Structure 1
Amino acid sequence: MLVAAAVCPCPPLLVPEVAAGAAPELDAARAACTDALGVLAAARPGLLVVVGPAEQDGRGAHPQGTPGSFRGFGVDLDVRLGPGAGTAYDRTLPPSLAVAAWLLERAGWAAAPIEGLGVGEPLTPERCFEAGRQVGARVARVGLLVMGDGSACRTLKAPGYLDERAAPFDAEATRALGSADVAALKALDRELAYELKVSGRAPWQVLAGAAEDAELTGTLLYEDAPYGVGYVVAAWS
């Protein structure tokens, strides 16, 4: 059963080496992510499952120790999803899970074994819910680290340009994530999320499926839209 969850954004810019001179702009987001991971660790899960958006080749399960890299962003920096050096892996972490691995390494995570799950944007809500239910049933005490961004259409300079629907969508998603409102997360519109370039919709709905039978309280730790992209950090416990 799900005993705690942390919700974090997944831009590679969270990693200071990638952000370079702009790194201080996300200091508050990094601090909030650390606080959310502290809530996860305090819940003493028997297993931590990290869920994040992924393209076709990054979907599916990623065992503990799976390597990731930020070399594609011009930085000579490698990470692993928990310990596992020396083991052969047939795939690398998608960017969202590489950011998660960096956050976990930065926080010194040692509270539980780790597994990764990459989910694709086209995944229907029903399949997301079912994936979440399966995650929640893995062990008696499951923790979730859920990676994903809100709309990339919040400003004129945003990656997706300005869309007037972006702010209301992000406001409702932020409210749901900050209050552990499972029904509201389930109700997020898949097509609208796609149009607004929301990377977090599928991971958030996996969280909703995992939390169906859990009685958790949410706390909003951070919300902003630097660079025109919605970022949210929340903790459920």
Structure 2
Amino acid sequence: MLVAAAVCPCPPLLVPEVAAGAGPELDAARNACLDAVGVLAAARPDRLIVVGPAEPDGRGPFPPGSNGSFAGFGVDLAVRLGEAPAGSPAPQRALPASLAVGAWLLGRTRWDGAPVEGLGVGEPLATDRCLRAGADLAAGAERVALLVMGDGSACRTVKAPGYLDERAVDFDAAAARALGDADVAALSALDESLAYELKAPGRAPWQVLAGAAQGAGLGGRLLYEDAPYGVGYVVAVWS
């Protein structure tokens, strides 16, 4: 059963070494993310899964001990998703960027609790499949926690990666409200086609969370909401 969740954005710029001179612009988001991960630790889960958007080669499960790197962003910085069980073979696949950012957040909080796994989900994954995937995750242990990585729309300003789309503000507001209220029905109702048009890769991971939270009775709290660089970022906790 799901006992806690933290929702965080996943731009590599959250990592100060990647952001370089732009680092202070994301201080508030970064600090909120670290606070959210602290809520996961306090829940004392038996299993923690980091869920985030991924390209085709980064989709599917990642076992404990999976490695990631920010070398693709010009920084010689490696991260690891928890510890591999003793005697198990070294994981072969590299973490997608979203899960690497999640691993970095866990490393900053010195996570030493439950085993940590990862799940990369495709941006176009249908809502019903997201919900089923989340339900399967929640059924995997008595006390499950999720670290859900994902950005909102990339269309909030003319300088945003997706340029300006007037629908983006309302979409992000609805998503933030649902995440802050732990509103499973509202998250499940997010329009997958609109999310894709607005370049909002967080939609699929958020709906995985909705599937995991069915019947859990968790409450939500919004820690951060803004759109630096024209991209919607939300930090929330469910417990």
Q: TM-score, normalised by structure 1?
A: 0.98
Q: Which residue in the other structure is 1:186 paired with? A: 188
Q: Which residue in the other structure is 1:217 paired with? A: 219
In the TM superposition, what is the alpha-carbon distance from 1:87 to its structure 2 partner? 4.5
Structure 2: how far apart are the matches of 1:128 and 1:208? 8
In the TM superposition, what is the alpha-carbon distance from 1:88 to its structure 2 partner? 2.2
SS at match of 2:39: helix
Q: How does 1:151-170 map to 2 (within 5 A)?
A: 151-170=153-172
Structure 2: how far apart are the matches of 1:56 and 1:81? 20
SS at match of 1:109: coil
Any unmatched runs of 5+ in structure 2?
Answer: none
Q: Which residue in the other structure is 1:132 paired with? A: 134
Q: Which residue in the other structure is 2:34 paired with? A: 34
1:8 aligns with 2:8: yes
Equivalent residue in structure 2 for 1:146, among 141, 145, 148: 148
Structure 2: how far apart are the matches of 1:148 and 1:129? 16
Structure 1: how far apart are the matches of 2:39 and 2:147? 11
Do the aligned partners of 2:65 and 2:90 also contact (CA within 8 Å) in 1?
Answer: no
Q: Which residue in the other structure is 1:47 paired with? A: 47
The one-letter code of the counterpart of 1:37 is V
Which aligned segments of 4 or more residues in structure 1 are displaced greater than 3 angstroms?
A: 84-87
1:115 aligns with 2:113: no
How much is the aligned-residue C-alpha RMSD, in angstroms? 1.1
Any unmatched runs of 5+ in structure 1?
Answer: none
Structure 1: how far apart are the matches of 2:37 and 2:124? 28
SS at match of 1:31: helix
Do the aligned partners of 2:84 and 2:90 also contact (CA within 8 Å) in 1?
Answer: no
SS at match of 1:116: strand
The count of residues paired between Structure 1 and Structure 2 equals 237
In the TM superposition, what is the alpha-carbon distance from 1:97 to its structure 2 partner? 0.1
Structure 2: how far apart are the matches of 1:30 and 1:46? 26
* CA deviation profile, 1:160-216 (whole Å, cap 9, x unmatched): 000000000000000000010000000000000000000100000000000001000
SS at match of 1:128: helix
Structure 1: how far apart are the matches of 2:113 and 2:178? 27
In the TM superposition, what is the alpha-carbon distance from 1:84 to its structure 2 partner? 3.3
